[in-house]
Amino acid sequence: MSQESTDRPDGDLRETGMSLRHDREWDYELDRITDAVAERDATSVGLQFPEGLKRRGPGVADDLRELLPDGVNVLISGQPCYGACDLDTFLMKRTDVFVHFGHSPMKESEKIIYVPLFSNVEVTPIVERAMEEELASPDEDPDVGLVTTAQHMNKFDDMRAYLEERGYEVHTRRGDERLTHEGQVLGCNYASAEVDADQVLYVGGGKFHPLGLAMEYPDKHVVIADPVNNVVTVADTETFMKQRYASVHKAMDADTWGVIFCTKIGQGRWEEAEEIVENN
């Protein structure tokens, strides 16, 4: 999903994540990893980072090596990683302890350690701006849904408290069993936004999650409060939908169709791919 903006000068990096207003620091929970290694007498540890944090991998591995006994190998996954479901099973099979950074737990396994990497960025300033700029005031409409991503779950109570103190009734829920936390959205799951409120506040970076959310609930007003880039916007599905329809329209002339299946365990849907082939 991508949304183009035409009213910005070239070189404006807002919302691109390329020039962050806040430096982020992460807690890699190295103690938890070294404990697990000691407990299991492990001789190898695999590390998997999401795309945005891959560059930090070698540094984390170095820090970890200093804490681990000699003879324990640390291996870093080089495979692309987009989500908690996207485990590098190749590396997992070949290491005694497998650490998946940056996402909240999804699969149960004794071998896997999930290190969620909560951002240290403050969220109340951007929630305040969202209130002033895009949310209906509590007098107009006190009901607001609240969702965020794994990185900002540690500040979820702050967000809620801030809104409640200003007179909002905050509606949240835990989506389903794939979701670890109340109010958490995944790229594949927006059930936590199915609340009794016409406006939903998404606190977090990126367009992927809020656009997905807005498409699933087209009647809701989805306000994006990005605490990292310090930007407040409204999820606008129109541009994205136009691009999608343009693609569909272009494809109408085709005589032959291909169905592309992704081989990753958590990101491919073999049965659905087969069903599409069978029904067409």
Per-position DSSP letters for 96-134, written without gaps between them: SEEEEESS---S--SSEEEE--------HHHHHHHHHHT
Interface with a second copy includes 277 (CB under 8 A)?
yes
Beta-bridged to residue 47, according to DSSP, are 76, 99
Closer to a second copy by Cβ: residue 46 or 227: 46
80 binds a second copy (CB under 8 A): no
For Cα atoms 201, 234, 174, give the angle at the middle one, nearest 5 degrees. 25
| Residue 62 within binding range of a second copy, rule CB under 8 A | yes
Q: Measure Cα distances from 68 to 33, 53, 56, 63, 73 in Å.
A: 9, 22, 18, 9, 9
Selected from 120, 270, 272, 275, the binder of a second copy by CB under 8 A is 270
Site mask for a second copy (CB under 8 A), range 14-53, x = bound: ----------------------------------------
Q: Which positions from 93 to 132 touch a second copy by CB under 8 A, shown as an x/- string?
A: -x--------------------------------------
Q: Is 69 in the site for a second copy (CB under 8 A)?
A: no
Q: How far is the CB of 49 from a second copy (least distance, A)?
A: 14
90 near a second copy (CB under 8 A): yes
Q: Which of 29, 32, 73, 194 binds a second copy (CB under 8 A)?
A: 73
Q: Strand ranges (DSSP E) for the chain?
A: 44-48, 73-76, 97-101, 112-115, 143-148, 169-171, 199-203, 221-226, 231-234
Distance of closest approach, residue 28 Cβ to a second copy, in angstroms: 18
Q: How far is the CB of 263 from a second copy (least distance, A)?
A: 5
Among 72-80, 164-172, 197-205, 244-252, which window interacts with a second copy (CB under 8 A)?
A: 72-80
Q: Which is nearer to a second copy, 11 or 71 (CB)?
A: 71
Q: 78 vs 167, which CB is nearer to a second copy?
A: 78
Residue 67 makes contact with a second copy by CB under 8 A? no
Q: Tell me: does residue 276 bind a second copy (CB under 8 A).
A: no
Among 256, 271, 279, 280, binds a second copy (CB under 8 A): 256
Sheet holding 169-171: strands in order across?
A: 169-171, 143-148, 199-203, 221-226, 231-234
Contacts 24+ apart (CB under 8 A), 202-205: 202/147, 202/148, 202/235, 203/123, 203/126, 203/127, 203/130, 203/146, 203/147, 203/148, 203/152, 203/155, 203/159, 203/227, 204/148, 204/149, 204/151, 204/152, 205/17, 205/149, 205/151, 205/229
Q: List residues near a second copy by CB under 8 A.
A: 58, 62, 73, 78-79, 90, 94, 256, 258, 260, 263, 270, 274, 277
